[in-house]
Homo-oligomer: A and B are copies of this chain.
Amino acid sequence: MTKWGELWEKSLRDISVEAALKCLDDAGVDKVDSITVGTMSGGLFNAQEHLGSLVADYLGQRFVPATRVESACASGGLAVKNAYMEVASGLSQYALAVGVEKMTDVDGGDATFALATASDYDYEAFHGITFPGLYALMAVAHMKKYGTSLEQLAQVSVKNHHNGSLNPHAQFPCAVTLDQVMTSTMVADPMRLLHCSPITDGSAAVLLVPLTVAKKMNKPYAVITGIGHASDTIALCQRKDFAKLEVVEVAAQRALKMAGKTIRDIDFAEVHDCFSIAEIIVMEALGVVESGQGGPATVNGLTALDGDFPINPSGGLKSKGHPVGATGVAQVVEAVIQLRGQAGPRQIKNARTALTQNMGGSGASSIIHILEAR
């Protein structure tokens, strides 16, 4: 992946190619059979669609089949799934997945508008609600139903910023205190600035090959043993319980079943903490803890780097940043780095099995991958 942040001196095509070249260099591969690009909205952020061809062209891979996939903020996870299908269907041996979003080329208002197109535009965004508001509704529902506290929510950000302070690619590689989170600017009650993932430019890439090919490459690799992909109603208001994310439950069940595992077999997870409340509901949906126990478990250190079930060792969306189409790919990058034992000061001990959970909108789509060390 590239360094993430406000990359004013680089363009959409620059960062896509930078991440892709780093990936191909790491793998020792010059030529690929297909490219899948995960991007939420090249149209609204950059006045540029046709991103598959753009990336193939600037990567010097003329004539290579190139596909752009989109599932809002889960576009990156979808790119990895699509590359998996390229390989599993027999159409590709070397399938490159690139996630990218260049979000700072529009002004703040436009970025919020672009992101709002991940919701049900006619029934949600048109009437004025944006994503901080949607997740604030989920937070209020969770607080009311389970007694989740503001301190518990804030602890998610404290933990993720601690992890991100150990990640040189993070946009905000700085620790924050509980007090800083709890007194930061209010965005949509109870979501304050330090509960919210930022606007980010960034890209990440992974290369997928058949296992038989991977074995011959003499490079460290991880194996994708499970994929779970699900959708739900695009509008939050169509769902019965705002304090649940059923789409994550379903995707997790599918991924674990495919991998022949239970959540107890997973050593750590990268999850979609677009807002602090999201990490809490997601860990409950994955079955890491019972419903309602996400807040207390976070405060008790279960999900810390040295806890029994580390979550977001990379710093998560909160600290690492959230270039929406790149996030799902970067989750897989972090999983591979951890499984290879190359994560340095944020290395999780004896990490053998990882889960990555990427999410679109207010939970209208989710894609989960299970990766294992070899």
Contact = CB atoms under 8 A, between A and B. Distances in A.
Interface of A: 11, 34-35, 40-44, 46-54, 56-57, 61-72, 78, 81-82, 84-86, 88-91, 113-114, 116-122, 125-126, 227, 229-235, 238, 246-247, 250, 360-361, 364-365
A103 to B, nearest CB: 13
A117 B43 contact: yes
Q: How many copies does the complex hold?
A: 2
A84 to B, nearest CB: 7
Contacts of A11: 122
A31 to B, nearest CB: 14
Contacts of A88: 85, 88-91
A117 B63 contact: no
Given A232-B57, A360-B53, A69 B66 contact: no
Given A48-B122, A49-B117, 12 more contacts: A47-B113, A47-B126, A53-B72, A53-B231, A53-B364, A54-B234, A57-B233, A57-B238, A65-B230, A68-B69, A84-B89, A85-B86
Majority DSSP secondary structure for residues of A touching B: mixed
A46 B116 CA distance: 12
A67 B49 contact: no
B118 A234 contact: no
B229 A65 contact: yes
Q: Specify which of A52, A57, A72 lies most central, judged by the most chain B CB atoms within 10 Å of its CB.
A: A52
10 contacts: A35-B231, A43-B114, A49-B117, A50-B71, A53-B72, A53-B364, A54-B120, A57-B234, A65-B230, A89-B89
